[in-house]
Amino acid sequence: MTTDTVKLLARYNAHVNSEMNAIISGLTPAGWEKDLGGYFKSIRLLCSHIYISDMAWMKRFGTLRPFESLKHPAIKKEFTRDSAPFAGIAEYMMMRSGLDSIIVSFADEITGDDLGTSLHYRNWKGEEQNRNVGGLIMHVFNHQTHHRGMVSLYLDLLGIENDFSNLAALV
């Protein structure tokens, strides 16, 4: 893992979220909330999970050292795993775009030394963890990719054409 890889993944993440969200913005409230049978039953719940998880990780990374990007007021908001961070699609779009900008700025601040160090934190269960920062950053991007795949499947189930995952467009 290099700082260039982190920057590429952050930009890819923001780009693909923007592409995905352009499709989501056309959903009806019923489509946004429809129970599609997965663990996260709706597109809203999937998007909430991704957002809350990203916020948790940005807060955790903020304990490593004082990153300018992580001083943003949005990072100070508190969420639980079951929070409803946004009221509807429009608020989600605004909040997701803002968080993606913060993540890109965070990636620009990451150093090689940061990637090689360990982060001490507590997981959602309160268990103490000590993990490599570079690996954790990879986890954050992989987590989003995994759940964007679920959003894609849900869009398929709704009969909505979608194709928003092309990393090759950025390299």
Per residue of the chain (171 residues), what is the pLDDT tens digit?
Answer: 899 999 999 999 999 999 999 999 999 999 999 999 999 999 999 999 999 999 999 999 999 999 999 999 999 999 888 889 998 999 999 999 999 999 999 999 999 999 999 999 999 899 999 999 999 999 999 999 999 999 999 999 999 999 888 777 777
**Which residues of 58-162 form beta strands (DSSP E)?**
118-122, 128-132
The CATH number given to whatever domain includes residue 136 is 1.20.120.450
What's the total number of domains in the chain? Answer: 1
Q: Range of 16's domain? A: 3-170
Identify residue 92 by its one-letter amino acid code. Y
Would you call 128 helix, strand, or coil by DSSP?
strand
Short-list 99, 144, 145, 133, CA closest to 2: 133
Q: Which pLDDT value is given to residue 95?
A: 97
| Torsion angle, alpha carbons of 32, 124, 59, 81, to 10 | 20
